[in-house]
Amino acid sequence: MKAPIATAIAIATGLIVLVGYFIPLPVLQNIRAILLGWGVTLAGVAALIGIINLVITHWRRVTAPRNRDLYSALLILSFLVTIAAGLALGPADAQFQHVVTSIQVPLETSLMAILAVSLAYASLRLFQKRKGLVAVVFVISALLFLLVTSGFLASGSDNPIMASVLTAVNQLPVAGARGILLGIALGSLATGLRILMGTDRPYSG
């Protein structure tokens, strides 16, 4: 191992936090709370460094001698205004939250609209290249959910049969979301076990 001390510290820290969830010893609980607090602090510092790096990168684009990017200047200006308003009013201020959500919600809606179009295009491309049962099911499910979520079938919700069908169809994405969450959990568990065993060492650079 290139970094035996860092590997030993990472494995010991992971085992202490993991054992602290299953063995209710006061010493383990206190050590686990301290380690988790350090982890949260380091994550916040890493996020702050990422934000500073983002601002510096866009500032270099603004001050570049050629091909200056005006959108980078707009991003820096928006960042400064947001952070100044957040420090002055506080993140819990109702007016500040209203302004932020008034900007964030339309952006997220636009991204979801682009995602819907991309999903429909990808399903058609998949059906053209690989014609099979999986492709047919993917195309039908994509078009069905786009039709259901578009609101065109909302007028038929007064019909009990149609309402039951819409309710059943709307429950299907929940199963897909749970499957994705289970996949993320299993992937995180596998990654954690590999780090605990010393197979993966992301901290060694």
- Residues 64-79 have pLDDT tens digits of 888 888 888 888 998 8
Contact in structure between 79 and 56 (CB atoms under 8 Å): no
Q: Tens digits of per-residue pLDDT, 145-166?
A: 777 666 666 665 566 776 777 7
pLDDT at 144 over 70: yes
pLDDT digits (tens, 9 = 90+) for 79-114: 888 888 888 888 788 888 888 888 888 888 888 888
The answer, yes or no, to whether residue 46 has pLDDT greater than 80, is: yes
Give the residue among 153, 122, 151 at the shortest CA–CA distance from 139. 122
pLDDT at 49 over 90: yes
- For residue 151, the SS3 value is coil
How confident is the model at residue 45, as a pLDDT? 93
Cβ–Cβ < 8 Å for 170, 147? no
d(CA 115, CA 46): 29
Alpha helices (H) in 68-132, listed in sequence order: 70-89, 94-129
